[in-house]
Structure 1
Amino acid sequence: MSGLDLELARRTLDAQPFSRLLRARVTEFGGGAAVLEVDVRDELLQQNGFLHGGVLAYAADNALTFAAGTTLGAAVLTGGFSIQYVRPGAGRTLVARAEVVHTGRRQATVRCDLVMVRDGGDEVLCAVAQGTVLSAAPS
């Protein structure tokens, strides 16, 4: 889509107060895909020392929506998504990689892998998500 690029995606994310609170960043954007990253810090952990599931769900939601925005345009909203937690989030950085599976006229189906990057650089899958993103542009 013309006019949509990584810089615009970064400005859009920065316009979300909650994303600024989490210090999230978009590191890739375009061609039906987006990558969102969040560095792990103590405030984002749950009582057992793992990344809180709400942070994982946030990352999935935004990554799904940003990926869909590359095919539907900038005005998009999450229609719904599901997330399956496969192992506790332990590591230094959460990486949410989303890719559009199908785009129609007014909605896109998107899937997302959420991995934790460990100190040595190894990646461990901790959750998978799939959702529907709707065009919010006037019809």
Structure 2
Amino acid sequence: MDNEMQQRVARSFDAQGLMATLGAKLLHVDDGEVQIELPYAAHLTQQHGYLHAGAVSSILDSACGYAALTRAPAGSDVVTAEFKINLMRPAIGERFIAIGKVQNAGRMLTVTNGEVRAFSAGADAYKVVALMQATIVSVVR
């Protein structure tokens, strides 16, 4: 992955107000793969204390979108056309990593999939809490 693409993704990520509001951080950018990290925060929970599905969906949608951006034609941006998410189990953990990967990149549409992994304190082991498949559209600027 070239440094220019990593910077392109980082600039776009830094411009997202929602990611800043959530406290999410861009963790890894590679050709066809992006990882976003989100630490647990009480203000992002639902009524049972689990990370809210909205926060889980948001970081995973962004990870899939930015993975697609790494394969998008020069001079274009990306937007999500649709996604399907499966919430596998309660999002319990100290930190969460959303991993988005390109499955097929076309000129206009890119199909991605991803998962959110929940990590407990000091543990390298994780549990997958969500799976997503998304269709991302390349948009000429």
TM-score class, shorter-chain normalisation, is: over 0.9
Structure-to-structure mapping, 1:6-17, within 5 angstroms: 7-17=7-17
CA distance in 2, matches of 1:8, 1:124: 31
Shift of 1:10: 2.5
Task: Give the corresponding residue for 1:135.
Answer: 138
The answer to whether the 8 A contact 2:9-2:70 is kept is no
TM-score, scaled to structure 2: 0.91
Shift of 1:16: 1.2
Shift of 1:11: 2.6
Structure-to-structure mapping, 1:78-93, within 5 angstroms: 78-93=80-95
Identity of aligned residues (%): 27
Structure-to-structure mapping, 1:6-45, within 5 angstroms: 7-45=7-45
The answer to whether the 8 A contact 1:10-1:25 is kept is no
Structure-to-structure mapping, 1:1-139, within 5 angstroms: 3-5=4-6, 7-73=7-73, 75-121=77-123, 122-137=125-140
List gaps (5 residues or longer) in structure 1.
Answer: none
CA RMSD of superposed structures (Å): 1.5
Shift of 1:8: 3.4
Return the letter of the residue paired with 1:135.
S
Shift of 1:23: 1.1
CA distance in 2, matches of 1:18, 1:36: 13
TM-score, scaled to structure 1: 0.92
Q: Deviations over 1:45-84 (max 9, x none)?
A: 1110100000011011101100000001451111110100
List gaps (5 residues or longer) in structure 2.
Answer: none
Return the letter of the residue paired with 2:94.
R
Shift of 1:19: 1.1
Runs of 4+ in 1 over 6 A off after TM superposition: none
CA distance in 2, matches of 1:90, 1:118: 8
